[in-house]
Chains A and B, each alone.
Chain A
């Protein structure tokens, strides 16, 4: 039995290693092909580490920890580091590529020179499975080309027109078998399909029918394309072949005659993103609003839901009260629903025209002769709504934890206070509440940190809106830092400002760090954690 189980562990280990090494072997040439040196080095390091740990008998504990650690390092720790790196770059729409990639995109661009030569065509038809047209193009006396005329879709798969000596007799084209010359009238009858076709002469040149002649050879023109940009790696400039200008590098773009050429590439910009955040008036203004609201939102959310939760648990904390279990079950319900569903449902209930809330408030509006509130469309109504809904979402948790904490406070303490003549309020504020806070405050800080980044609620309920008019970036009055970042990076409608967004994330990181430090400092949680190790 022991022998069996030892084999099992070995089998498992070898299967894991086989799969793992297969993946490494698969990825290795790919990273080379894409020249992504970063991934290449990552793969080498992880590959060596894994094989070293599992093939040697040293580092026993690592065998257990390494699999989880790899995921944590790759998808939590590394992104955090990478995020810092991105925040020092100009990475954004128009500057997504590396310089090498941008140059290769630019060098693929073509243009059509103005002066194009006229040429003469004879058109033959081949009676094959379906009709196909063949052109004989008289470029000049020596250069007469023959080939199948193709549509634009087929251009890259078709063979080039050729000069085949066997088809010529004293310079005259001899009709090959199966082909018939199209008369002028037939050409006119087929003109609509002929106009779609062209004869491919070389990679950059093709000939197209231009004018059909009833009497002799039709005429066409050569349309040739040439490479628009050529990179000069000695001077690090781009040469525009069409205008014959030299385009120098200006920061992260080539610039031709004062105009930036898209795409640019990503470069390090040092602290420019951070400077923008703090000094560019049209970004600093909204950022201030957002940062302030993030704190207000998180703080008020915690306070409101804590107040409601504590109030309810005090109400229910009474011996002999009937239906306690039913009340408790109901109070927990909002917490059991996934937040993304609740947020969206509340958005529906708050709809100013059809929603339940306004139809409830209808009589009150009439009574005080007020316009119905346009929920979520004005700054104040949106902020109120967000807080209201978050209270609904959050009070069950507070109810649960305060109920637990209240029950653990010794009854004798309160009895003793009563004997000493303390009123109910006095004994609450002097005894119950301080004792409660000892066990609850770390959870409140945790809840604050959670709401600080409560993206799901904000994004799905108000979308951060209503928009703040006159800012340079897409941002709204209920946006918190994380949803602001999301808009900058992903969905702002002003391109993807990855660099700038990352710098905002770094600020959030710093704030979360401070919040956690406070939490550790005041709750001695770290010591508890450490003691638990």
Chain B
């Protein structure tokens, strides 16, 4: 009787658990391996294991003490660039979205379509032109030329404003027009309607758009790599690449530690906003 019950369970559920476990291992093993190795006491990659023999923070300490690898400087740069660019992205995107959602004007449909079509092409495709453009800007205005954070932020700003204002506009359309019509009757200006009604009500989408943009910029490699030449100005994505090309075997602990620091905040953000981000992805594509 017990055997029969087990067989029945195995036929209904057991094999599903088996397959799920295999793929769960496939999904999580590399992540766990790196996470435990970052705090494990071992000499090199060859003799590292999933469950470490000893516990230590030495890799993290090493990471913060190597003057040739200003890892935390890179981390700071990344947050700085991503937060500033993310903020302005959302701000300018919201302004444009308001006009598209609430104001009637000639060419509205055409410009919205243009936005969608332009954003089909990832902005980094024209990286050669961006490189040469900022190479020449360096002559005229060195503070925003090649190799500066300001220049990089400008490029990131252009890169996704169109897509973002499109998404925000979609959300604003769901806010009932009767609200602002009532305000208009009371004599409110466009600016007041925007500041008092539409912008506050759009807050949920603005947070999500900020997070998506932040993650996108944080994870960008190609534009940061062509823009930033000075080691002290690198972002994590560019810098970490050079940590990894060192002696893999001997430096494995430090490599694991740097990966954990770079990945954790994004992973947490992603899991927290997972539903909204995937929803946004369904409408277009930001992250792989």
Contact = CB atoms under 8 A, between A and B. Distances in A.
A75 B159 contact: yes
Contacts of B190: 60
Given A65-B111, A71-B92, A83 B128 contact: yes
Nearest to B275: A400
Most buried by B among A6, A27, A65, A447: A65
A20 to B, nearest CB: 13
A312 to B, nearest CB: 6
B45 interface: yes
A393 interface: yes
Given A334-B27, A396-B27, A453-B122, A321 B16 contact: yes
Contacts of B154: 71, 74-75
A318 interface: yes
Contact of B103 (A39, A61, A509): A61
A529 B288 contact: no
B222 interface: yes
A336 interface: yes
B69 interface: no
Interface stretch (A28-36, A141-149, A234-242): A28-36
A86 B129 contact: yes
Contacts of B75: none
Contact of A332 (B13, B161, B173, B271): B271
A447 B121 CA distance: 13
B132 A91 contact: yes
Interface in A69-95: 69, 71-72, 74-80, 82-83, 85-86, 91
Contacts of A508: 125
Contacts of A82: 126, 129, 132-133
A278 interface: no
Given A336-B271, A446-B285, A72 B27 contact: no
A460 B239 CA distance: 12
Nearest to A454: B288
A450 interface: yes
A320 interface: yes
Nearest to B117: A516
A147 to B, nearest CB: 37
Given A337-B31, A455-B222, A516-B120, A348 B244 contact: yes
A138 interface: no
Interface residues of B, number: 104
A287 B64 CA distance: 43
Contacts of B248: 348, 351, 354
B140 A446 contact: no
B140 A502 contact: no
A322 B141 CA distance: 62
A49 to B, nearest CB: 15
B128 to A, nearest CB: 5
Interface of chain B, main secondary structure? helix
B163 to A, nearest CB: 10
A322 B13 contact: yes
B62 interface: no
B274 interface: yes
Given A27-B141, A333-B28, A393-B288, A68 B266 contact: no
A69 B161 CA distance: 8
A57 B44 CA distance: 69
A75 B244 contact: no
A501 interface: yes
A76 B159 CA distance: 6
A448 to B, nearest CB: 10
A504 B34 CA distance: 38
Given A74-B158, A80-B129, A330-B27, A39 B33 contact: no
B37 to A, nearest CB: 10
Given A79-B133, A456-B219, A9 B191 contact: yes
Interface stretch (B18-26, B51-59, B202-210): B18-26
B192 interface: yes
A336 B130 CA distance: 29
Interface stretch (A126-134, A169-177, A243-251, A481-489): A481-489
Contacts of B218: 338
Given A74-B158, A316-B20, A338-B219, A30 B140 contact: yes
B135 to A, nearest CB: 9
B157 A490 contact: no
Given A5-B192, A351-B248, A509 B125 contact: yes
Contacts of A229: none
B131 A505 contact: no
A167 interface: no
Interface in B1-60: 12-13, 16-17, 19-20, 23-24, 26-28, 30-31, 33-34, 44-46
Contacts of A453: 122, 124-125
B93 interface: yes
B284 A446 contact: yes
A338 B241 CA distance: 13
Contacts of B225: 490
Contacts of B263: 337-338, 341
B229 to A, nearest CB: 11
B244 A344 contact: yes
Given A27-B141, A30-B141, A451-B288, 9 more contacts: A79-B126, A82-B126, A344-B240, A348-B45, A349-B33, A454-B288, A498-B132, A529-B113, A529-B116
Interface of B: 12-13, 16-17, 19-20, 23-24, 26-28, 30-31, 33-34, 44-46, 92-93, 95-96, 98-100, 103, 105, 108-109, 111-113, 115-118, 120-133, 136-137, 139-141, 154-155, 157-159, 161-162, 165, 170, 173, 187-192, 195-196, 215, 218-222, 225-226, 237, 240-241, 244, 248-249, 252, 255, 259, 262-263, 266-267, 270-271, 274, 278, 281-282, 284-285, 287-288
Closest 4 A-B residue pairs measured CB to CB? A75-B158, A64-B99, A83-B129, A79-B126
7 contacts: A36-B136, A63-B99, A76-B159, A330-B28, A339-B219, A450-B288, A486-B226
